[in-house]
Amino acid sequence: MYDSDKRKVLAGLCHGSIFFSSLVVSVCIPIAILLVSDDPVVKENAKESLNFHFNVWLYEAFIGLLLFSVIGIPLAWLLLIPFFLFHWVLPIIAILHILGNPEQPYRYPFIFRIL
Q: Which residues contact residue 25 at a Cβ distance below 8 angstroms, ignoring those fewer than 6 apart?
A: none
Spell out the domain ranges in the chain: 4-100
CA distance 16 to 31: 13
Q: Tell me: the pLDDT tens digits for 84-108?
A: 999 999 999 999 999 999 999 999 9
Q: What is the mean pLDDT of residues 6-20?
A: 95
Which pLDDT score, from 0 to 100, does residue 22 have?
A: 61
The chain-wide mean pLDDT, for the chain, equals: 93
- Return the amino acid letter for 28: C
CA distance 57 to 53: 6
Q: Tell me: the pLDDT tens digits for 28-38?
A: 999 999 999 99
Q: Where are the alpha helices (DSSP H) in the chain?
A: 4-16, 24-36, 40-68, 73-100
pTM for the whole structure: 0.91
> 13 vs 16, 69, 72, 81, 101, CA distance in Å?
5, 37, 36, 25, 15
